[in-house]
Amino acid sequence: MTVTQVLIVAASGAAGAVTRWGTSVAAQNLLGKAWPVGTLAVNVVGCFVFGAAYELTRHTHELQPSARLFWLTGFCGAYTTFSTFAFDVVELHTTRGLTFAALNVALHLALGLVALVVGLNIGRMF
């Protein structure tokens, strides 16, 4: 890890975080707040950007390391980790089969929900 790499991730992460907020607010203003459309919009757009950036940087070798760091780790990582999760599921399905992909989805959902409930309950104690 170099200083340049840290700066690339920090700058693109800041851009991703601000873009996430803007996308979420715009979606809610456009479609209303009765359903969490902001999160849905961010996750769908983030998956698209991750997929496009992954393929574009994979085929452009001279830009690969810094572009991947910028788009995949920094921007998409701050915009939504759901894009990374979705990519991992597709990769597991491709390399290890549907069972491993489904297990990954189930573990993330179940453990994430349990961790959230535990965190909420601990947070309420104080």
Per-residue confidence (pLDDT) for residue 65, from 0 to 100 = 84
Average pLDDT score, the chain: 94
Per-residue confidence (pLDDT) for residue 63, from 0 to 100 = 67
Distance CA 27, CA 41 (A): 7
CA separation (Å) from 16 to 27, 32, 33, 115?
Answer: 16, 23, 22, 25
Write the single-letter amino acid at 120: L
Buried b (16+ CB within 10 A) or exposed e, 25-52: eebbeeeeeeeebbbebbbbbbbebbee
pLDDT in tens, 44-87: 999 999 999 998 888 776 667 888 999 999 999 999 999 999 99
Q: What are the residue boundaries of the structural domains of the chain, listed by start?
A: 1-79, 81-126
